[in-house]
């Protein structure tokens, strides 16, 4: 089984994974969604979210933007990252299931510009 986390605001992928309102957690088994739930974001602090999501069995996070430091922390926690993904969560999950999900793979444009302090605005994305 694969458990993915998608930082979510409303019904769409959040522009900033650490500041999302909630995470949509999707359990996938044999190519089908078997469970989907939302959990509240516990807060934005360096290193908190990789441990929080790992403790909930997440194996992959799909996000719009993420800095290199965060991506490395997720990797160290054994969580695969897919970044540069935007749009409605249900559409993202469908593309994931179809094997057609494509992210830009680019780190957050705020990297090195106070990103760790939450100053990243993702150019209005």
> 121 pLDDT exceeds 50?
no
Instruction: Tell me the domain boundaries of the chain.
Output: 2-100
pLDDT, one tens digit per residue, over 79-97 is 999 999 999 999 999 999 9
Taking the C-alpha atoms of 76, 71, 119 and 91 in order, what is their torsion angle to the nearest 10 degrees?
-130
Statement: 2-100 belongs to CATH 3.30.420.130: yes
- Per-residue pLDDT tens digits for 55-66: 999 999 999 988
**Average pLDDT over every residue of 21-45:** 95
- Count the neighbouring beta carbons within 10 Å of the beta carbon of residue 14: 24
Average pLDDT of span 19-48: 94
Asked whether 14 and 20 are in contact (CB, 8 A), the reply is: yes
């Amino acid at each position: 089984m694969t458990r993915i986390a998608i930082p979510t605001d409303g019904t769409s992928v959040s522009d900033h994974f650490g500041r999302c309102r909630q995470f949509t957690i999707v359990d996938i088994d044999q190519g089908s969604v078997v469970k989907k739930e939302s959990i509240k974001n516990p807060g934005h602090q360096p290193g908190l979210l990789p441990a929080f999501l790992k403790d909930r069995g997440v194996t992959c996070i799909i996000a719009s933007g993420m800095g290199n430091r965060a991506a490395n922390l997720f990797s160290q926690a054994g969580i695969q990252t897919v970044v540069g993904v935007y749009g409605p969560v249900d559409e993202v999950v469908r593309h994931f299931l179809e094997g057609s999900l494509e992210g830009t793979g680019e780190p957050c444009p705020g990297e090195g510009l106070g990103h760790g302090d939450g100053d990243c605005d993702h150019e209005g994305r």
